[in-house]
Structure 1
Amino acid sequence: MKETLRAALSGSRGGPNRRRILRALADRPRNANRLATELGLDYKTVRHHLSVLDEAGAVTNAGDDYGVVYVPTARARRHWDVLESLGETDRADD
């Protein structure tokens, strides 16, 4: 899981946004629209990153259609050190 998570969070140009999304979801569950608004990202971009995070086993969702909310998985939380090791420079509040 650690290598899969590391690849999803750092292995491409989208890594910084995926880290921002995962940190936001760790704070509280959100849907894609709320994430896009709060992080200043395009809705389709957020949906793409959520899909990548889901495939990596880092997020899960509950609900249906527009009301789907996302949260980090227990596996992602167990390996949170991977996220933290990638740095703090991409935090939205910096």
Structure 2
Amino acid sequence: MRQLLWWLIGGTQGGKNRLRIVRSLNRRPMNTNQLSNELDLNYKTVQHHLEMLEENDVLTTTGDEYGKMYFLTDRMESNLDLLDEIAEQASIDND
């Protein structure tokens, strides 16, 4: 999981936005539109990051189309301390 999070969060330009998405979803589940509004990001940008996070077992969903809600996977929830460690080591601002 450490290598995966370094790649998704610490090693790419989009890492800061993915970190913000994971932290927002840790507070409460949301759909793409809600995340876009909350984070003040373009809908398509959020959609791209959500797809990457879902493909890599960081997020899971329920529902479909525009009502699809995103949640952290159990695997991600059990590694939130690792996420914070990587964000700190990569010097990504905390939101």
Give the TM-score of the pair, scaled to structure 1: 0.90
How high is the sequence identity, in percent, across the aligned residues?
42
Looking at structure 2, the residues matched to 43 and 81 of structure 1 have their Cα atoms a distance apart, in angstroms, of 28
Q: Deviations over 1:4-60 (max 9, x none)?
A: 122111120000000000000000000000000010000000000001111211000
CA distance in 2 between partners of 1:60 and 1:23 (Å): 14
Q: After TM superposition, give the deviation of residue 82 of structure 1 in Å.
A: 2.1
Moved over 6 A (4+): none
Query: Partner residue of 2:39?
Result: 39
Write the distance in 2 (CA, Å) between the matches of 1:72 and 1:22. 7
Q: 1:60·1:73 contact (CA, 8 Å) conserved in 2?
A: yes
The code of the aligned residue for 1:64 comes to D
Stretches of structure 1 that go unaligned for 5 or more consecutive residues are none
Unaligned runs of 5+ in 2: none
